[in-house]
Amino acid sequence: MAATQLVLERLGIEIIATEQSCCGQMHINSGYPKLAKPLVDQVEKNFANCDYIVAPSASCIGSLREHEDRPALVAKCFDLSEFLVDILKVTDLGAEFKHRVTFHTTCHSLRVAKLGNKPQQLLNAVKGIEVVELPAADSCCGFGGTFSVKNSDVSGAMLEDKLSNISSTHSEFVVSADNSCLMHIGGGLQRKGGKIEVLHLAEVLASRG
Amino acid sequence: MAKGYSGVSLPFPTLAKEALKDTQLRTNLARATTTIRDKRARVVGEVTDWEELRQAGHDIKMASLSNLSAHLTKFESEFTAAGGTVHWARNSKEACEIVARIAKENNIQEVIKVKSLTTDEINLNEYLATQGIVAKETDLAELIVQLADEHPSHILVPAIHKNRDQIRDLFVDKLAEAPAGLTNSPRELAMTARAHLRKKFLTSRMAVSGANFAIAESGTLCVVESEGNGRMCLTLPEILVSVVGVEKILPTWEDLGVFLQLLPRSSTGERMNPYTSFWTGKGDGPKSRHVILLDNGRVQTLADEQGREALACIRCSACMNVCPVYERTGGHSYSSVYPGPIGAIITPQLLGEGEAKTLPFASTLCGACYEVCPVKINIPRILVYLRGKENSANASLTEKIVMRLAALSLTSKGLKVLGTAIRTFSPVISSRPAQKIAHYLPVAKKWSAFRDIPKTRLTRKVRKP
């Protein structure tokens, strides 16, 4: 959040300090749509006065966009990468990050929010960065919200494969556009005790040498 | 399948846990699904209007389903007028009894079979066995699975869980035609099966098939296949009985054109499949032709506005080939003739409330299945819908309370409290003693089995701002 705020403020965007609220995705995807409804209502209400709702999470944005019955809300939801590349038309944010990183393309950024290669465009414009391609980058890390608990063993097996692909890149950081995947991957990396850390794309974009 | 398809089966997470221990299975599956996946991507990439074709496939299927009874009646009258016999079956039992009755009336003790998911769905082979009738599978992979006394684990590649060495050993053990010194070469294995099957094709008097499509306007059935065993079964015997789900109806031949482009590319990754057979009533080939139009849960699925899209499935298997869950667990964990993402939405709906209830949860909702589905079935949407249906009926009280509390803590007010709490307690929650304790707590231990509780990212300072 702080990094996203910093990136946007540097570009002269006025951030309305509105009350935050959850997009309701966890409840929707877990099969509790009625519990999600008040949360989505709240998003709509809290952000009524804003021109854009920008979130550093393709997954949350993708979920919000599925509310076809709320066209006004859908029209102003943007993932950070989309907002920067499509609306503000910038890719070089003057960021500097002198590290070797690999990028995990999250399922929802690719197939739900359909960000294409926008996050990579932003990442490649960062000064000093070395981006190493992650093998099977578009395959799911196994998080899946409550899936990680309800089907813990399958989730663990998927994570194991993701972690070995990550370590094969010999990167210092795994960067991604979704915190939920990063929590899962980060937890796995921490368990393994290696030196690789997770980092949100916004944190890289906010870095200055 | 017999095992589990009746609904008496272990939950998906339990079966998946067992399957994950089988490292040979995981290796076989990863290799096979990656190969098919790449082949599919290559041939789909050649079609410039693929997205339009998918949309056309979706629209034709949905329109056909919305007027199903008229198309079925048309099919019945055309097939009958051409000299065939149409039977209707409400469920597995009725369909199986009709097949057995036709066999008995003609004094038949052995039938040869074309690969058919619908006959697997109704457990036809097992039922015929109880009636003293042997059902012989003639598709190579179905034969392998039958010889091993197992069930298919994939709808297109039933023996995907086996590698060549395992198949060689099986043939040496079970087939009299296996030559001395049989190796694991695909050609040698196929020739052994061929020698075994050829006798069956030439002597059997009755065949049982399914159908990929049933064309209403002319009362024609269609089977699409690769090996030619289907063509043998559909032409050589005297009697042919086809068990066809009512959703297989297409109104016209023009509609079929769309699917003959979509299906082979999505399933075997071929531009066109080697054998496409059509038959209508009587003509060359079998003198007596029967079709059994099967409901078995399809009508109740059709009645559900949110779930009916699942009936558009053309059984190509592209969804399971790209599914990261299927790739690791294999098909048997789904306890259904229909595994993978499509199985997770079809099986619970065909079986009805209270059955196969863990299947809609067997997905991370990664969306890979929807992306490749040739008829654009929004599988993630239906999975989520079925989760909701299942929760309303059967969620545990604990889960309901937890989800309600979570909903409260995620409101604007709740988030303030939650944020402060996480910032305050994060060092404690992610400390080493806490990580250890988590292994013993319900729910938390499911997380902690594979991952640490990560140091919260809310407390992380922005790097070098």
Coil, strand or helix: which one is A153?
A: helix
Strand ranges in B5-139 using DSSP code E only, listed in sequence order: 85-89, 110-113, 134-137
- Interchain proximity B410–A144, CB inside 8 Å: no
Count the Cβ atoms, other than its own, within 10 Å of residue A10: 15
Give the CA count within 13 Å in the CB-facing half-sphere of B422. 15
- Interchain proximity B389–A186, CB inside 8 Å: no
Q: In sequence order, what DSSP letters do the residues of B120-136 get, joined into one string?
A: HHTTHHHHHHHTT-EEE
Q: Which residues pair with A102 in a beta bridge?
A: A132, A174
How far is residue B131's CA from residue B111's CA, in Å, rounded to a whole number? 12
Q: Does any CB of chain A come closer than 8 Å to the CB of residue B447?
A: yes
Residues 6 or more apart whose CB falls under 8 angstroms from that of B226 comprise B268, B270, B273, B274, B275
- Interchain proximity A150–B361, CB inside 8 Å: yes
Residue of B nearest to A1 (CA): B458
Q: Does any CB of chain B come closer than 8 Å to the CB of residue A208?
A: yes
Helix (H) or strand (E) holding A185: helix A179-192
- State the Cα torsion A153-A154-A160-A163 to the nearest 10°: -120
Mean pLDDT score across all residues of chain A: 94
- Interchain proximity B388–A148, CB inside 8 Å: no
CA angle in degrees (0–180, nearest 5) for B248-B253-B258? 75
Percent of chain A's residues with pLDDT above 70: 100
**pTM for the full predicted model:** 0.94
- State the Cα torsion B298-B299-B303-B304 to the nearest 10°: -20
Does residue A194 have a pLDDT over 90? no
Q: Does any CB of chain A come closer than 8 Å to the CB of residue B384?
A: yes
Greatest alpha-carbon span in chain B: 85
For residue A189, the Cα-to-chain-centroid distance in whole angstroms is 18
pLDDT at residue B459 in the model: 43
Mutate one of A150, A172, A182, A185 to test the B interface: name it (highest B CB count within 10 A). Answer: A150
Coil, strand or helix: which one is A53?
A: strand
Does residue A65 have a pLDDT over 90? yes
Range 220-279 of B in CB contact (< 8 A) with A: none
Six-digit token string for A147: 């899936």
* ipTM entry: 0.95
Q: In sequence order, what DSSP letters do the residues of B250-308 get, joined into one string?
A: ES-HHHHHHHHHHHHHHHTS-SS-SEEEEE-SSSSS-SEEEEEEE-TTHHHHHT-TTTG
Matching residue, tokens 């009738």: B133
Q: Which of A10-24, A128-142, B229-243 has the lowest mean pLDDT?
A: A10-24
In A, which residues are within 8 Å of B37 by CB distance?
none
What are the mean pLDDT values of chain B's consecutive 10-residue runs (465 residues total)?
52 96 90 93 97 98 98 98 97 98 98 97 97 97 95 90 93 95 96 94 96 98 96 96 98 98 96 96 89 98 98 97 96 95 97 92 97 98 97 90 90 83 80 83 84 66 44
- State the Cα torsion B56-B59-B62-B65 to the nearest 10°: -70
CB B25 within 8 A of CB B19: yes
pLDDT at residue B4 in the model: 39
Helix (H) or strand (E) holding B76: helix B68-81
- Interchain proximity B324–A33, CB inside 8 Å: no
Which of B216, B213, B220, B231 shows the shortest CA–CA distance to B280? B220
- Interchain proximity A111–B367, CB inside 8 Å: yes
How far is residue B423's CA from residue B429's CA, in Å, rounded to a whole number? 10
Nearest residue, CB atoms, A159 vs list B366, B389, B450:
B450
Residues 6 or more apart whose CB falls under 8 angstroms from that of B114 comprise B138, B139, B207, B208, B209, B210, B223, B225, B229, B230, B233, B234
Six-digit token string for B444: 């938390």
Indicate the angle between helix axes A33-46 and B397-409, nearest 10 degrees. Answer: 0
Range 18-37 of A in CB contact (< 8 A) with B: 19-22, 24, 26-33, 35-36
How far is residue B261's CA from residue B49's CA, in Å, rounded to a whole number? 11
pLDDT at residue B207 in the model: 98
Residues 6 or more apart whose CB falls under 8 angstroms from that of A35 comprise A24, A27, B403, B404, B406, B407
Q: Does any CB of chain A come closer than 8 Å to the CB of residue B331?
A: no
User: How far from B433 is each of B323, B334, B436, B448, CA to CA, in Å?
Assistant: 37, 37, 5, 13
- Interchain proximity A31–B411, CB inside 8 Å: no
CB A54 within 8 A of CB A80: yes
Backbone φ, ψ for residue A82 (5° rounding)? -65, -45
pLDDT at residue A66 in the model: 95
CB B193 within 8 A of CB B159: no
How far is residue B439's CA from residue B437's CA, in Å, rounded to a whole number? 5
Which of A124, A129, A127, A138 shows the shortest CA–CA distance to A171? A129
- Interchain proximity A6–B465, CB inside 8 Å: yes
Which of B238, B4, B266, B226 shows the shortest CA–CA distance to B121? B4
Coil, strand or helix: which one is B50?
A: helix
- Interchain proximity B387–A31, CB inside 8 Å: yes
In A, which residues are within 8 Å of B463 by CB distance?
97, 199, 203-204, 206-207
